[in-house]
Amino acid sequence: MAEEGGDPLPLRQPLEIPLTHRLRAGPPYDAFEELRDDLNSWGRAVGLGFVKLRVSNDVKGFGPTRIGLVCDRGGRQRDSKANIRRTTTQKTGCTWEGVAKALKIDDRRWTFEVLKHQHNHEASTSPAELTTHRVHRQLTDEMKNEINTLSGNAAIRARDVLQHMQHQHPDAVITQTDIKNQRARLARQNKDGYTGTQALVKGLEDHGVRHVVRYASDDPDKVIGVFWTHPWCETMWKRFPDVLQMDNTYQTNKFKMPFFQVTAISNVGSIFNIAFGLVDNEREDGFRWLVEQLYGFQTQLGISDPDVIVTDSDAALKSALKTIFSGSRQQQCIFHINKNVVLNVKRKWRKPGGLEINTDNEEVLEPLSRLPDDEEVDSDVVRVLSTPDNESGQNPSAPAQIEHSMAGLFKLWKKMVFTIDEAEFNENWTKMKQEFADQPAIIGYLAKTWIPCREEWAMTWTSRNRNFGQRTTSPTEAAHRDIKSYLIRGTSDLYRLSEVVTQMLEAKEKTFNEEMARQKLKQRYQYIGSGFDWLGTTNREVA
């Protein structure tokens, strides 16, 4: 660094160890570690760090009696063959050197001598600069235990752990990298030398968790599918088996395997999980395997077939369910359907004076379980279309006059979704075809894609199912968000994913039990008083 138009500024030379310091004046140290820690304690105060270089002069029954110590800025960067990352170093070639000796004359107690006292760099004068000295970033056993305890909650991020540690240990030098490294050591320790996938399977076996593992036909050691449940899931499944929901989510593991969840709703309105699955494909083969395992678990537990299964519009999943759960009625999520309809109406809407569209050659989109991210879908419109206009869950009859616009089409479509009367449904469909005859692409899309399966989404037919008002897969979508809130990042191994599932279930079980206890003591106000003593505890039995 130089002044403008002048000579370079002189290097601000670090302090030397005072001659009066115990390191140089004695008394000797009983152990080398005491001497080294004392040296670095002084070094931290003045912005320096020291590391062990070499040992020599072994004495039988004692060990080395001479240990060299150097500045942690000593040495030079090794030649790197890396051609992608540009490597850097904090080494400056500092020549400072000292030696610790355990001489016979001192009864093998340790003394210290500075051999070369000159440094070629400035001292680290700020807390931020101190973090560049790895020797000062040593975690104590107490700190490691704290980090391990906090890391037991998968939803706590490394930066949150760092803030906690800095608050609890204000004098410690800790970085977020140190937190991540300690968490990585803990993860390796928990896996006990196994890979993430091996640790997942071993953990399920060791804890007696009901599970099935699928291996590749051409490689008996390659896992291509896992399906499992948990004891609490089984208990809840037995209590509430009537309506199931199932769906895949993504970005939960580094193998990019879709994560399959089966969920249901409890008597207090909370979401609970029934089973979990990982599979290497979303073809019918993959879904068939998952559904077969679900049916196998159901048989083992003596649970009856569900009355209703709610899914999105994935054809492969629906085909597998039709084969294996042939006695259950299938419903399609009206939110996914409406999202698809809104997208396609926007794509296909022909403005007045627009070009004529040949509907015979018009490509009709198949139902999409995941819509493309590059298409903007009006979420407010989708939400309105998926919500009935009154508490009964039904919509009043369609008005005689329909606005000839996208908004008018959407209103008429909503009447079709929520009407109870089959004649009214047919009337609305006829009215839509007549009113929007100038939109053949949209009418053709609805006629080919959604009208044939109307019994799976229109309230005219779904109201006859014992579905307890469930019309969407929103609970399963909420379960997906829940698992990702614990997972934090989507590149974890399968063992980490299974740990997160366990933590999530523990939290759900606790919440469910607390709500059950709360509702058990809840009383109906209109039945309180001496006039209702004959009811006993019945007025508290809400749930």
Q: Model confidence over 157-185: pLDDT tens digits?
A: 889 999 999 999 999 999 999 999 998 89
User: What angle, 0 to 180 degrees and rounded to 10, lies between the N-to-C axes of helices 494-520 and 176-191?
Assistant: 90
Q: Which residue has the higher pLDDT, 368 or 251?
A: 251
What would the mean pLDDT of 242-254 be, rounded to a whole number? 94
| Mean predicted confidence (pLDDT) in 479-498 | 89
Q: Which long-range contacts (CB under 8 A, 24 or more apart) does 164-167 make?
A: none
- CA-to-CA dists, residue 133 to 91, 168, 221, 318, angstroms: 11, 21, 44, 59
Task: Choose among 538, 391, 522, 388: nearest CA to 459.
Answer: 388
Count of residues in the chain: 543
444, 445, 443, 467: which is closest to 455 by C-alpha? 467
Q: d(Cα 343, Cα 382) in Å, to the nearest integer?
A: 10
pLDDT reported for residue 88: 78
Residue type, position 397, single letter = S
User: In which band, very low, low, confident or very high, does the pLDDT at 193 lie, cut at 50, 70 and 90?
Assistant: confident
Neighbours of 368 (CB within 10 A): 16
Residue 447 φ/ψ region, left for φ over 0, alpha for ψ in the -120 to 50 degree band, beta for the rest: alpha
3-state secondary structure of 69: strand
Cα Rg, the chain, nearest whole Å: 35
For the residues 486-509, what does the mean pLDDT come to?
Answer: 90
Model pLDDT, residue 13: 76
Per-residue pLDDT of 4-50, as tens digits, reads 445 554 556 789 999 999 999 989 999 999 999 999 999 999 999 99
Write down the pLDDT at residue 538: 61
Per-residue pLDDT, averaged over 417-421, amounts to 94
Residue 409 Cα to chain centre, angstroms = 39
Instruction: Give the C-alpha separation, 147 to 449, whole Å.
Output: 54
- pLDDT tier for residue 539 given thresholds of 50, 70 and 90: low
The pLDDT of residue 286 is above 50 = yes
